[in-house]
């Protein structure tokens, strides 16, 4: 098991990854291999069923697919996400800013990568703060966050979701969390913290990891926990995610606002930042997680 906190910003490959992402952002992606993770190629390979036992591959994406934001790309983010699922074959996909039916499209894409087992999914609907009604995508579907998890044969997964107990009174979107628990392996979760106020985003992170998720689960507890999320907290500095992680938790980030957080007993093996080719305003974040031995 690897128990370190990933600080890959100092590693040589991170400089190349950052340069690639910046070049892409200003419209010059020459020299960046389209569709590849900006890291060691060893992080991109086998399907879940062929991977070394004890490794969980996590793909975190904010797809900006509501149709209401400037970063909307006419649905191309879903196609890009499906292509990345086929390429990297993750065990867990965490998704922010999607429409309800996007989850089914990506679940189907993930199912085609499996030799055995199935894919479990869960969707967390975002409600309007003032009316309590669902926030809608431009196409009329519910707007929210989702999780996809590979489930081994004969295992029965469970889903959980809810509104964060801390909300920003100036944010019209009531922020939510959603989890899929796979009893023999891990609980995969996501959330999308408020973008309106860092102090509130930090408290949402604290409440989720310190109170909400630990209060869920089987009689013997939920977990081990893997959270892929857009925490809307800067990767570095006093107001970053480190300020809201309970003891024993570790994280890997995209250098921006997204993280993969793992609970006690889990380790971080590798982390890659992926070019989304202009389909959304966030990169993809690919992380290999080490489950406990035994």
User: Treating both helix axes as pointing N-terminal to C-terminal, what angle do 76-88 and 100-111 enclose, rounded to 10 degrees?
Assistant: 30
The pLDDT score that the predictor gives to residue 53 is: 65
Separation between Cα atoms, residue 192 and residue 1, nearest integer Å = 28
Given a cut of 50, the residues of the chain with pLDDT beneath it are: 1-45, 49-50
Token pair of 72 as six digits: 């909307």
The pLDDT score that the predictor gives to residue 214 is: 87
The pLDDT score that the predictor gives to residue 22 is: 37
Separation between Cα atoms, residue 170 and residue 244, nearest integer Å = 21
pTM: 0.84
H or E element: which one contains 58?
strand 55-62
Token pair of 20 as six digits: 């690639």
Pick from 199, 197, 179: which is nearest to 187 by CA?
A: 179
Q: Give the pLDDT confidence of 107-157 residue by residue, as tens digits.
A: 999 999 999 999 999 999 999 999 999 999 999 999 999 999 999 999 999
The pLDDT score that the predictor gives to residue 30 is: 34
* CATH 3.90.190.10 corresponds to the domain 8-40+55-290: no
- 146 Cβ contact partners less than 8 Å away, ≥ 6 residues apart: 94, 95, 98, 102, 103, 106, 121, 122, 123, 124, 178, 190
Token pair of 239 as six digits: 């107001």
Separation between Cα atoms, residue 43 and residue 69, nearest integer Å = 32
Q: Is 195 exposed, middle or buried (0-12, 13-18, 19+ CB in 10 A)?
A: middle
């Amino acid at each position: 098991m690897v128990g370190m906190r990933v600080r890959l910003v100092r590693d040589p490959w991170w400089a190349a990854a950052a340069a690639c992402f910046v070049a892409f952002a200003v419209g010059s992606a020459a020299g960046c291999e389209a569709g590849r993770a900006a890291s060691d190629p060893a992080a991109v390979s086998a399907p879940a069923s062929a991977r070394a036992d004890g490794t969980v591959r996590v793909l975190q994406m904010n797809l900006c697919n509501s149709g209401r934001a400037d970063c909307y790309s006419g649905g191309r983010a879903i196609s890009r996400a499906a292509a990345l699922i086929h390429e990297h074959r993750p065990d867990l996909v965490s998704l922010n800013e999607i429409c309800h039916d996007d989850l089914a499209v990506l679940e189907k894409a993930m199912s085609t990568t499996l030799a055995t087992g199935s894919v479990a999914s869960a969707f967390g609907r975002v409600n309007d703060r003032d009316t309590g009604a669902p926030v809608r995508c431009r196409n009329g579907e519910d707007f929210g966050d989702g999780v996809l998890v590979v489930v081994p044969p004969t295992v029965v997964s469970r889903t959980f979701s809810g509104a964060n107990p801390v909300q920003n009174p100036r944010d019209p979107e009531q922020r939510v969390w959603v989890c899929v628990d796979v009893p023999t392996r891990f609980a995969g979760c996501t959330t999308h913290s408020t973008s309106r106020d860092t102090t509130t985003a930090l408290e949402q992170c604290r409440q989720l990891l310190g109170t909400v998720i630990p209060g869920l689960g089987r009689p013997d507890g939920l977990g081990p926990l893997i959270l892929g999320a857009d925490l809307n907290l800067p990767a570095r500095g006093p107001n970053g995610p480190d300020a809201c992680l309970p003891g024993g938790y570790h994280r890997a980030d995209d250098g921006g606002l997204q993280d993969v957080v793992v609970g006690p007993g889990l380790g971080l093996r590798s982390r890659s930042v992926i070019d989304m080719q202009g389909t959304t305003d966030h990169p993809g974040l690919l992380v290999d997680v080490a489950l406990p031995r035994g």
